[in-house]
Structure 1
Amino acid sequence: MRGRAQGSASVPLSVLDLVTVGTGGSAAASLRTSVELARLAERRGYHRHWVAEHHSMPGVASSSPAVILAHLAAHTDRIRLGSGGVMLPNHAPLAIAEQFGTLEALAPARIDLGLGRAPGTDGGTAAALRGPGRGQDGPEDFPRQLAELVRFLDDGFPDGHPYARIHAVPGPVQGLGTGRPPIWLLGSSGFSARLAGELGLPFAFAHHFSAANTVPALDLYRRSFRPSAVLDAPYALIGVAVLAADEEREAYRQVLTGALSMLRLRRGVPGLVPGPEEAEAYPYSEVEREFVADWTRNVVHGTAEQVRAGLGGLLARTGADELMLTSNVHGNAARLRSYELVADVYGLPGGGA
């Protein structure tokens, strides 16, 4: 089956792309690399390629998932493309319905709509995104926003509703769309896990930055699950930070670049992802060294065989139905090489092409 790995990880392997920008690079170059990565993923049999929504982060150029996905759709033919995810509180549900209805019309049966309830940025930037006159939505508002989005996607507002005469175009009204992209709920805690289960939706958990919560959240999702028109049984994907290299030492050097980038982000000074030399020479304090050690411990890295062993152990602990690999490090070439090596070690198709 396309997208299924052989050996210890007998589940689909997919790609999560943050369009990382490193020092000496540019957003334009990283966006070109995203096209290369999507083509690589399609050629090598990865199941899907998602892009995330982040704002006001110089080292992450994925602020506009719908725009990036339209570009990727034009440069690929088969692989599923989607958002991992769109941060729903930042947007009017009608706008998201129209954007993803357009994507579905451009790439029929290839689009996933992954939704998150976090802003994907700091509070000030979130307020600027939402604009004047729009209040700060709390977590309790997410189910309402989600229900409104679903009704726009399905053209399903009842008679008498204020939005009954409003239609998302392209969409189901008058046959202007080709279908509705499947909705996924994303999360890093129990809130979206429970909601996804109660609604019978597929669930994607951000293990790559909330590893301690992975198993509890997946357990909650499975306990809360109710069969729906979408799913008969739970389906859980986990995002995993991965970096495979030809040598173990080089893998660690690349992973350290992402760790220092995250350290700076947590300190409120986001920037471009530093190069390996800068990351190695940085004068870490004792507290910073502990942070870096914890961060790198949750990145599956090393040679291809070491990565396969690490992913196999993670799969055994979580029982995930799909692994979505993200490699947020300095070098674009290193990211591409990592996905090739993982594909090789699992015997995915397209090697040597």
Structure 2
Amino acid sequence: MSDPVRGTVRGTAPVPLSVLDLVTVGSGRTASQALATSVEISRLAERRGYHRHWVAEHHSMPGVASSSPAVILAHLAAHTERIRLGSGGVMLPNHAPLVIAEQFGTLEALAPGRVDLGLGRAPGTDGATAAALRRTERLNEGALGSPLLERSRELGEDFPEQLAELIRFLDDDFPDGHPYARIHAVPGPVQGPAGRPPVWLLGSSGFSARLAGLLGLPFAFAHHFSARNTVPALDLYRDSFRPSAVLDAPYALIGVSALANDGEKEARRQVLTGALSMLRLRTGRPGLIPTPEEAEAYAFSAAEREFVDSWLGNVIHGTADEVRTGLDELQKRTGADELMITANAHGGDVRLRSYELIANAYGLPDGEVPAARLP
């Protein structure tokens, strides 16, 4: 079994390569098809030597089917044998720490030594949906715009306390006299010697970077939607780092939006679908991922075109060799210890082809796990 944090470099990649999956749902397609694609991506990633396959928690987004990472990860575990599976991430403020400990203890029991627990402090959605997720933050009818809604947007200030509680449940080590001392997360240590998922902190700013460093935890940064903050956050993480029982040195992973295709023009055409989808989300019009034809025909205003061009400026796309060059340059500039690639496009076949092409560009080995056909 490989190191649960530090990946193994394969082929000619400068650092381990992994997959971040949003389980995107394209226009004219279904959630069932999107989830089937995720299974195929996981099998392909395992076959080609990618290190991890993480699933991100999002809510109330029609173009994303990953609202329940633990459920999806259990399904992926049943269809794979070796690749590490994890959350990128579970949004801790949305859940009771005990529930997360139980869910990921179950996953660890299902796939021993293969599960990562990545945690974020953002809601993974808009303020109203965040309030609906949390019973203590429930909105009254007509309360939109109220102080309660504003507070739901700012949740996460007690994140360190929630994190400490979750880790206590995972380790089953609340001290005597603590109100939770007799509560056990099961499956878990109370049932006998067993491993437990390594905890990662996720972030898109400096808060989690510093906290991960102080706690000596591995850190994953969302470069794919917060590129300007990447280097400052990684510097803060490394400067704040204190060795721990988990790590003796910093380990930083970054999420990267990248898509390879057989031609640069077609790659551009495909990534435009993700850019239009993000534009709609940012302007309060979330929907299914548009088709390439819909994205090409869309009449962008000047402001919308500026947003899209800026967004695509942080998406590495083109031929496999062009994508490899872009990934290598990004890794060198940031010093990332691992690159986690997310391929956002309308079609599952396009995403699968991209991961295959990137694997080919780096000379990743082609293993013995067969790739099933998409339904």
Q: Answer whether TM exceeds 0.5 for this pair.
A: yes
Q: What is the aligned partner in structure 2 of residue 146 from structure 1?
A: 163
Q: What is the aligned partner in structure 2 of residue 46 from structure 1?
A: 50
Measure, in 2, the Cα distance between the counterparts of 1:5 and 1:168.
36
Q: Among 109, 127, 150, which residue is 2:113 paired with?
A: 109
Determine if the alignment matches structure 1 residue 87 to structure 2 residue 102: no
Q: 1:180 Cα shift? A: 1.0
Measure, in 1, the Cα distance between the counterparts of 2:315 and 2:87.
22
Q: Secondary structure at the match of 1:140?
A: coil
Q: What is the aligned partner in structure 2 of residue 318 from structure 1?
A: 334
Q: What is the aligned partner in structure 1 of residue 177 from structure 2?
A: 160
Determine if the alignment matches structure 1 residue 207 to structure 2 residue 223: yes
Measure, in 2, the Cα distance between the counterparts of 1:3 and 1:272.
36
Contact 1:3 1:46 in 2 (8 A): no
Task: Give the alignment's TM-score, normalised by structure 1.
Answer: 0.97
Q: Secondary structure at the match of 1:330?
A: coil
AA paired with 2:75?
H
Residue 317 and residue 107 in structure 1: after superposition, are their counterparts in 2 closer, same or farther (change >3 A)?
same
Q: Secondary structure at the match of 1:49?
A: strand
Q: What is the aligned partner in structure 1 of residue 147 from structure 2?
A: none
Q: 1:251 Cα shift? A: 0.4
User: Aligned residues, how many?
Assistant: 351
Q: Among 115, 122, 126, which residue is 1:118 paired with?
A: 122
Q: 1:178 Cα shift? A: 2.4
Q: What is the aligned partner in structure 1 of residue 351 from structure 2?
A: 335
**Structure 1: where are the runs of 5+ without partners?**
none
Determine if the alignment matches structure 1 residue 260 to structure 2 residue 276: yes
Residue 25 and residue 3 in structure 1: after superposition, are their counterparts in 2 closer, same or farther (change >3 A)?
farther
Measure, in 1, the Cα distance between the counterparts of 2:10 and 2:290.
32
Contact 1:154 1:172 in 2 (8 A): yes
Q: What is the aligned partner in structure 1 of residue 9 from structure 2?
A: 4
Task: Give the alignment's TM-score, normalised by structure 2.
Answer: 0.91
Deviations 1:250-278 (A, max 9, x none): 10011100000000000011000000011
Q: 1:6 Cα shift? A: 3.7
Measure, in 2, the Cα distance between the counterparts of 1:54 and 1:94.
20
What value does the CA root-mean-square deviation take over the aligned residues? 1.5
AA paired with 2:178?
H
Contact 1:53 1:87 in 2 (8 A): yes
AA paired with 2:74?
A
Between 134-143 and 207-216, report the one with greater CA deviation. Answer: 134-143
Contact 1:3 1:14 in 2 (8 A): no
Determine if the alignment matches structure 1 residue 172 to structure 2 residue 186: no
Q: 1:80 Cα shift? A: 0.3
Measure, in 2, the Cα distance between the counterparts of 1:85 and 1:140.
18
AA paired with 1:302?
G
Measure, in 1, the Cα distance between the counterparts of 2:260 and 2:194.
39
Q: 1:123 Cα shift? A: 0.8
Contact 1:222 1:234 in 2 (8 A): yes
Q: Among 221, 228, 253, which residue is 1:237 paired with?
A: 253
Q: Which residues of 2 match residues 221-232 of structure 1 at below 5 A? A: 221-232=237-248
Q: What is the aligned partner in structure 2 of residue 100 from structure 1?
A: 104
Measure, in 2, the Cα distance between the counterparts of 1:3 and 1:174.
31
Q: Among 134, 154, 169, which residue is 1:130 paired with?
A: 134
AA paired with 1:273?
I
Q: 1:240 Cα shift? A: 0.1
Deviations 1:309-349 (A, max 9, x none): 00011011000000000011111100000000000010001
Identity among equivalent positions (%) equals: 78
Measure, in 1, the Cα distance between the counterparts of 2:132 and 2:37.
29
Q: Which residues of 2 match residues 177-192 of structure 1 at below 5 A? A: 178-192=194-208
**Structure 2: where are the runs of 5+ without partners?**
139-150, 371-375
Q: 1:138 Cα shift? A: 2.9
Q: Which residues of 2 match residues 12-31 of structure 1 at below 5 A? A: 12-31=16-35
